[in-house]
Amino acid sequence: MSDPTSVTLNIGDKAVSLPVHRGSLGAPCIDIGKLAKESGHFTYDPGFMATASCRSAVTYIDGDEGVLLYRGYPIEQLAKQSSFLEVAYLLMHGELPTRTQFDAFEHEVTHHTMMHEALKTFLGGFRHDAHPMAMLCGMVGSLSAFYHDTLNLDDPEQRRLAAVRLIAKVPTIAAACYRQSIGWPIRYPRNNLEYTTRFLHMMFEVPSEPLQLKPVAAKALDLLFILHADHEQNASTSTVRLVGSTGANPYACVAAGIAALWGPAHGGANEAVLKMLEEIGRPEDVAKAVEKAKDKNSGFRLMGFGHRVYKNYDPRAAIIREMCHKVLAELGVNDPLLEVAMRLEEAALKDEYFVARKLYPNVDFYSGLIYKALGIPTEMFTVMFALARTAGWVSHWLEQQVDPEAKIGRPRQIYTGATPRDYVPFDKR
Ligand code: ACO
């Protein structure tokens, strides 16, 4: 029986038959939906190590083979031949656009890039040293207060429009958060520029002089956006879906995704990598860092190393590594941290501890060095990730809205607290 359509679970003298589902690719999944009803047992899987939470046709990962497909297209091909905006269309719609469809999408995104003027007042309310992720999370969450007239989630056109608005406005908000933090006036989006170049202008152009950008800057950023656009049911996307499962509006869902992304075990890793490289400081000190990362009592992990799913290599890391060398060379940046990063990668890949645990550089190991070379400050790295991942989040949210099997997400627990006991008044405690 190599290809069963069901499996039987024996619990005491009860046999429960559980269906097995197969997707178009990937491991079969045992459907335990009826288990509790039929056997009185729940399953326990902290961190969802072996649990699929939904059916999805957006992105496929084969962690053992280092494969990443967006809607079936290998990430290597998209990185080489596509653009972030085309990838956003692909993720949202399931197919690559025709030229006419792409032009219409680009036009629509471009004409939704303005943010409501009232958001400037909101932005001004943050402390001068607020972390841009905190600002982004609050600002994106607040969008639902501006578009509640188009939040009928039963209307496919309103859902689509919300997704377009998010893809269009997150870069404007992200750049505004940065400029607020450094005391620069907000730069309005320029519609004559394409998506990534427009973002760089909103970030770096000052009113007093035009911005001179080397083409490699927008190209590199666009590539990073493509590579970060989606990654199936990761922590932040699952958060978006969990919040979405309650019927909450898409702005609230994406704000929740931004909050989940912020953690150092997820999107916050790119910021943590750069801080780690700066702390190591010199190639000679790499060996010490590797030893510290192996010491469980040190509380230190090699940031940008390891991945829940990839146990061979992260295909995005290979692409970014190559781009990192190219960008630094073309921008004429001589960053000593690149040498530290390369030595660290080399040392860890040779070390039995990392080899045995299948720990490889992930997408964030080199991305920070590219951001740094582009002049993007460390605190903005996770914001960059959020900007790109918005395309994935809205695509998953759209998919969830028409999923006939979607239910409110409501995990169970193994209760370990006190058994029933009587209340004790203060004077008797
Ligand atoms: N440095 C040192 N040891 C590590 C590292 C690391 N970066 N990552 C995992 N390990 C060790 C663990 O200590 C554990 O060792 P043990 O088996 O002896 O107890 C083993 O490898 C397995 O680690 P887990 O934490 O169980 O693996 P998990 O799949 O839960 O975690 C994670 C994956 C969170 C990415 C982890 O590898 C990590 O913390 N990496 C550093 C942070 C990072 O780069 N995050 C970005 C992830 S990619 C992204 O979100 C874009």
pLDDT in tens, 127-159: 888 999 999 999 999 999 999 888 899 999 999
Say if residues 369 and 321 touch (Cβ distance below 8 Å): no
Please state, in angstroms and rounded to a whole number, the distance separating the CA atoms of residues 351 and 305.
13
**Is 148 noted as a catalytic residue in this protein?**
no
Give the span between the Cα atoms of 10 and 17, in whole angstroms.
9
How high is the pLDDT of residue 364? 87
Ligand 1 neighbours by CB, cut-off 6 Å: 265-267, 269, 293, 301-308, 357, 359, 362-364
Q: Does the annotation mark 307 as catalytic?
A: yes
Rounded to the nearest angstrom, the distance between the alpha carbon of 304 and the centre of ligand 1 is: 9
Whole-angstrom distance, CA of residue 425 vs CA of residue 417: 20
Q: Would you state the pLDDT for residue 363?
A: 87
Task: Pick the catalytic residue from 131, 228, 266, 307.
Answer: 307
Cβ 203 vs Cβ 379: under 8 Å: no
pLDDT at site 145 = 93
- For position 30, what pLDDT does the model report? 97
Which residue's CA is the nearest one to ligand 1's atom 47?
266
Angle of helix 195-204 versus helix 215-228 axis, rounded to 10: 110
* Residue 308, pLDDT score: 85
**Those residues with Cβ within 8 angstroms of residue 177's Cβ, 6 or more apart along the chain or in another chain:** 123, 132, 135, 136, 139, 383
Catalytic option among 364, 396, 403, 427: 364
Check: CB of residue 338 under 8 Å from CB of residue 385.
no
List average pLDDT for each run of 10 residues in the chain, which is 429 residues long: 86 94 96 94 95 97 94 97 98 98 98 94 90 96 90 95 97 96 92 96 92 92 96 97 97 98 88 91 94 93 90 89 88 88 91 93 89 92 96 98 95 97 97
Q: Distance, CA 149 to ligand 1 centroid (Å)?
A: 44
C-alpha 2 – ligand 1 centre gap (Å): 32
Closest CA to 317 of 302, 305, 327, 329: 305
- Per the document, the length of the chain is 429
DSSP H helical ranges for 364-423: 364-373, 381-401
Joined tokens for residue 87: 């990838």
Note the pLDDT of residue 3: 80
The closest residue, in CA terms, to atom 20 on ligand 1 is: 357
Q: Which two tokens stand for residue 99?
A: 């030229």
Cβ 381 vs Cβ 274: under 8 Å: yes
Dihedral pair phi/psi, residue 102, rounded to 5°: -65, -45
CB 277, CB 246: distance < 8 Å = no
